[in-house]
Structure 1
Amino acid sequence: MAGEQSSGTFVPVPGETPELKARSAARVERLEILDERIETPTLPTTAATSGVEIRRARATLSWPIENFGASLPNLLATVAGNLFELKSITGLRILDIRLPAAFAQAYPGPRFGIEGTRRLAGVKDGPIIGTIIKPSVGFDPQQTADLVASLCEGGIDFIKDDELQADGPHCPFDARVRAVMQVVNAHADRTGRKVMVAFNLTGDLDQMRRRHDLLVAEGATCLMASVNSVGLTGMIELGRFSALPIHAHRNGWGYLSRHPLLGWSYVAWQKIWRLAGADHMHVNGLANKFSEDDDSVIASARTCLTPLFPDKPCLAMPVFSSGQGVRQAPGTYAALGSTDLIVTAGGGIVAHPGGPAAGVAALRQAWEAAVAGIPLDRHAREHRELEQALGAAA
């Protein structure tokens, strides 16, 4: 691993002198054997395994920054490049990554983060209560705006496009933005508080720049990008020119992480995107509809709230989503110990028996109870919306 990803290759080559190795070779800082012999390799391999001991270990490697400089794309080519293909390794997962201060100087990190998001959303404390436009696709711009209007009247803090809704002919980005911002701006004029809407501008660089400029012109306060779709360079450029908070959606995360012995840990992966400029990072949610367990979700959320550098924290607001509703509030708060989060309940709000406004009220009531340490069923005795939501979720 160290040789392949620094000065070495599959055979000795002229010029790879001891002096060059001392200057440029990766180092194995620690090797901890975790298991005795493994009978079956994690992945099939063309390497002859008959009679060869297969063991699992935790390795810590380091690279001289002079090899690639303070460059996130080239960092990834080094730590997550050809290592996964080596036939002598039958499984590899990146658990964490520690970056020198040069990366903090080279990249902006989140421009808004937690404080800026709260300021623009008008939420000084407590969780930011949000939802997702549902149905995910199928509404036209006016239908989308009508739903947004009812959510605004219901007291929502945050609304986001579903990641499947982009710029299709049935609901073009420009028309959707203008229709939605008309109702958002009108609501702000009446109430003095502007609901934050994260519009999905995922596309190529020119498209994202043009869509960003339209959002700014229409008075929007957030944008959304699917980070695995736009790629690292796309995200870096978006972070450099965006005048709005960036809501980073991680769709596709499963193919990077679902096998426990392959791919990435979120603890390592999210650091790259925060440094590139993500202000909000999706972390899944408790009792979610996907395969991730609750401990992993909370670990992901905590790491978003953990500083990257002593002098540049680069904190990002964790976004809880995926099948969220009133019942997850107590467990989420107890495990995270913070209300610095966005909760996006799609069906949990828009499918409330009393309508979207009642769904907003119910989720807010659930979080009020969680923070106050009041059991949900007791709080529901005096809060009809919460009572209805608990009945619907039973």
Structure 2
Amino acid sequence: MSLIYEDLVKSLDSKQQAYVDLKLPDPTNGEFLLAVFHMIPGGDLNVLQAAAEIAAESSTGTNIKVSTETAFSRTMNARVYQLDLERELVWIAYPWRLFDRGGNVQNILTYIIGNILGMKEIQALKLMDIWFPPSMLEQYDGPSYTVDDMRKYLDVYDRPILGTIVKPKMGLTSAEYAEVCYDFWVGGGDFVKNDEPQANQDFCPYEKMVAHVKEAMDKAVKETGQKKVHSFNVSAADFDTMIERCEMITNAGFEPGSYAFLIDGITAGWMAVQTLRRRYPDVFLHFHRAAHGAFTRQENPIGFSVLVLSKFARLAGASGIHTGTAGIGKMKGTPAEDVVAAHSIQYLKSPGHFFEQTWSKIMDTDKDVINLVNEDLAHHVILEDDSWRAMKKCCPIVSGGLNPVKLKPFIDVMENVDFITTMGSGVHSHPGGTQSGAKALVQACDAYLQGMDIEEYAKDHKELAEAIEFYLNR
């Protein structure tokens, strides 16, 4: 240990010493959830003192040593086990036995991004990456109904699932909303979602919206011969109303697989997410991340990264979560942030910002897990008849400022097609209307699949040609 680190350790008081172990022998032995924070101390504390206070507040301690701690309670202490002074990074190991053994994600977050984000001893504190050991993954739900199940239902493979968000965001009646769904589906689209504020407004009663969407879907399926999916926002003021909306949808006559439940995971809460996962394991659980920017924007000094949010969504059992457009669309984000997050939740093994996460529930050196990782990287469907071995994938959902012209650029950045794209204005603002916008999106996808430049392909496809002319001038 260098002199500077020795001096930092000597500066700790007796309480802080209990939360620091820069010689922790094996942080990846399965006992710990590991976390990396970007941290700038505040006040009179040095970096290790501040890190120790964070480890205490986010596990067993408080600001002053108490006489009620026990020999056992001290084994539950989080420990600062690594520092990078140049990059202002702190690694903390949390004994995962601290957490509610009911697979409770909100309980973990209450610890590791709870009170500590409000501590006056820090100027900046952002959780950049986390690592879950296999022994911990065993305790959590993970996804049940995945994008692979949706692909099987839609009979759509080797391309993105093409979706839209109904626009205007709000103000359409139930019948008008259903009409937009119908137009998109008849134009060739696969997937329609409620926008995140959709609820039970007086001009668009929820029960009528559900009934009309069912009629519009039936008509579109009959006319196109293709299955369709609609994602309904079931976020509500209370538990009973949320479940009432779910039951309304399941009892409306929809074919299993043709509907998803959208939950505003941050504003509605992790309890709502996990309730839906456990009550409706055979329904695609669509996590909308409204309000995430308050925590995840890169310039924010306090909060957590897109990667961390996305990993917890997978842990909680979301089938899919919005992961950003990597700078291609209108939302803030970069490939280094958004694509890393997307890959981390869709692959069995993928590097993060600091940790390589393997989502296996057994040792990742096991030959069967190694085979699964290789199958996964080859884009084969895995965990169909051996789901005990690992946590299933969570699908990146991509929205915000995309249009048919930007489909291939995003695929190139994403480096795969295993995502759902939900273009809103990029479909509905098409000069020919929603049906033409949907056709242009399908044509842009066909051009990609055939390896053709979209401008060349557009010579024989009017809707795509109109889209290129319209959106390239925007």
Are positions 1:58 and 2:99 aligned together?
no
Are positions 1:114 and 2:147 aligned together?
yes
Deviations 1:249-287 (A, max 9, x none): 111111112234321111111122222221111122243
Using a 3 Å threshold, how does the CA distance of structure 1 residues 345 and 269 change in structure 2: closer, same or farther? same
**Number of the residue aligned with 2:250:** 216
- List aligned pairs for 1:159-308, cutoff 5 A: 159-203=192-236, 204-218=238-252, 219=254, 220-242=258-280, 243-258=282-297, 259-285=299-325, 286-307=327-348
Q: Is the CA contact (8 Å cut-off) linking 2:186 and 2:224 kept in structure 1?
A: no
Task: Give the CA deviation at 1:81.
Answer: 1.4
Are positions 1:34 and 2:64 aligned together?
no
Gaps of 5+ in 2: 1-53, 349-357, 361-388
Deviations 1:336-384 (A, max 9, x none): 1211111111111111112222211211222233344433222222322
CA distance in 2, matches of 1:21, 1:170: 55
Are positions 1:126 and 2:176 aligned together?
no
Using a 3 Å threshold, how does the CA distance of structure 1 residues 148 and 21 change in structure 2: closer, same or farther? closer
Q: Is the CA contact (8 Å cut-off) linking 1:130 and 1:344 kept in structure 2?
A: yes
Q: Is the CA contact (8 Å cut-off) linking 2:335 and 2:413 kept in structure 1?
A: no
Q: Is the CA contact (8 Å cut-off) linking 1:280 and 1:316 kept in structure 2?
A: yes
Using a 3 Å threshold, how does the CA distance of structure 1 residues 304 and 58 change in structure 2: closer, same or farther? same
Task: Give the CA deviation at 1:112.
Answer: 1.3
Using a 3 Å threshold, how does the CA distance of structure 1 residues 172 and 102 change in structure 2: closer, same or farther? farther
Task: Give the CA deviation at 1:211.
Answer: 1.0
Task: Give the CA deviation at 1:171.
Answer: 0.4
Using a 3 Å threshold, how does the CA distance of structure 1 residues 365 and 246 change in structure 2: closer, same or farther? same
SS in 1 for 2:124: coil
TM-score by length of 2: 0.74
Are positions 1:312 and 2:390 aligned together?
yes
**Number of the residue aligned with 2:99:** 68
Say which is worse superposed, 64-73 or 141-150, in terms of deviation: 64-73
Q: Is the CA contact (8 Å cut-off) linking 2:186 and 2:223 kept in structure 1?
A: no
Structural RMSD (CA)? 2.0
**Number of the residue aligned with 1:38:** none
CA distance in 2, matches of 1:250, 1:61: 26
CA distance in 1, matches of 2:336, 2:199: 32
**Number of the residue aligned with 2:57:** 4
CA distance in 2, matches of 1:364, 1:189: 19
Using a 3 Å threshold, how does the CA distance of structure 1 residues 92 and 372 change in structure 2: closer, same or farther? farther
**Number of the residue aligned with 1:138:** 171
Say which is worse superposed, 292-301 or 105-114, in terms of deviation: 292-301
Using a 3 Å threshold, how does the CA distance of structure 1 residues 88 and 180 change in structure 2: closer, same or farther? same
CA distance in 2, matches of 1:239, 1:63: 26
Q: Is the CA contact (8 Å cut-off) linking 2:189 and 2:442 kept in structure 1?
A: no
Using a 3 Å threshold, how does the CA distance of structure 1 residues 167 and 257 change in structure 2: closer, same or farther? same
Task: Give the CA deviation at 1:3.
Answer: 2.1
CA distance in 2, matches of 1:287, 1:337: 14
CA distance in 1, matches of 2:198, 2:59: 42
Deviations 1:38-76 (A, max 9, x none): xxxxxxxxxxxxxxxxxxx21111111222343322211
SS in 1 for 2:131: coil
For residue 291 of structure 1, what is the amino acid of its counterpart? K
Using a 3 Å threshold, how does the CA distance of structure 1 residues 297 and 100 change in structure 2: closer, same or farther? closer
Say which is worse superposed, 350-359 or 7-16, in terms of deviation: 7-16
**Number of the residue aligned with 2:110:** 77
CA distance in 1, matches of 2:153, 2:215: 17
CA distance in 1, matches of 2:136, 2:204: 39
Task: Give the CA deviation at 1:190.
Answer: 4.7
TM-score by length of 1: 0.88
